[in-house]
Amino acid sequence: MPLIHECVVTTLTPEGRPHIAPLGLIEEGDHWIAAPFRPSTTLFNLEHGRKFTASFTDDARVFAGLVTGTRSFPLTDIDGWPAPRLSCALAHAELEIDHVEADELRPRFFCRVRHMESHRPFLGMNRARSAVLEAAILATRLGRLSHEKIENELAYLTIAIEKTAGSAEREAWDMVMEKIRAHLASA
């Protein structure tokens, strides 16, 4: 299995407005592959423009916010590149689509990394941040998972939150949990 980089991509609408969404970029040989399911704004934008940006962040609140409806994260323009990056990014990559593998459900956009740049130090892995990331992914798939599966995953992920979260990670966890609990209560 290839490595997947969980990041936040900025694509551009045909009018040139930035759109941000969490996405896993698959590293496969010389290419990085974006594989968004249909329908999504990110997919639509990738079909209409070749250049986009990946932001790498260790702020779990960004992933939590994006899956719970907050999109107003500050962006920073990049010199000579049309798609801005997250201002809080530790690093970013500028990607250009090289070719596309068409698919009804999940086309694959094979990209070249044109440039990568670091902005802040990365201070190491953290289990609570990983747990929030897992919960955020879970929160985008609620309709496809049984309650039992969701409850079991949460029980495991909670251990990392209780043992290793700082205040930002707790805030992020609570945001995602509110969405998941609402789903469990309503369904």
Ligand X SMILES: Cc1cc2nc3c(=O)[nH]c(=O)nc-3n(C[C@H](O)[C@H](O)[C@H](O)COP(=O)(O)O)c2cc1C
List of residues contacting ligand X (CB under 6 A) = 6, 21-24, 35-37, 40-42, 63, 67, 133, 136-137, 140
Question: Shortest gap between Cβ of 19 and ligand X (angstroms)?
Answer: 6
**CB of 21 or CB of 165, closer to ligand X:** 21
Least Cβ distance, residue 6 to ligand X (angstroms) = 4
* C-beta of 132 vs 165, nearer to ligand X: 132
Q: Which is nearer to ligand X, 40 or 126 (CB)?
A: 40
* Least distance in angstroms from the C-beta of 18 to ligand X: 12
Q: How far is the CB of 40 from ligand X (least distance, A)?
A: 3
DSSP of the chain, one letter per residue? --EEEEEEEEEE-TTS-EEEEEEEEEEETTEEEE-PPSS-HHHHHHHH-SEEEEEE---HHHHHHHHTT-----EEEETTEEEEEETT-SEEEEEEEEEEE--SS--EEEEEEEEEEE-S------HHHHHHHHHHHHHTSGGGS-HHHHHHHHHHHHHHHHHH--HHHHHHHHHHHHHHHHHHHH-
Query: Between 10 and 165, whose beta carbon lies closer to ligand X?
Result: 10
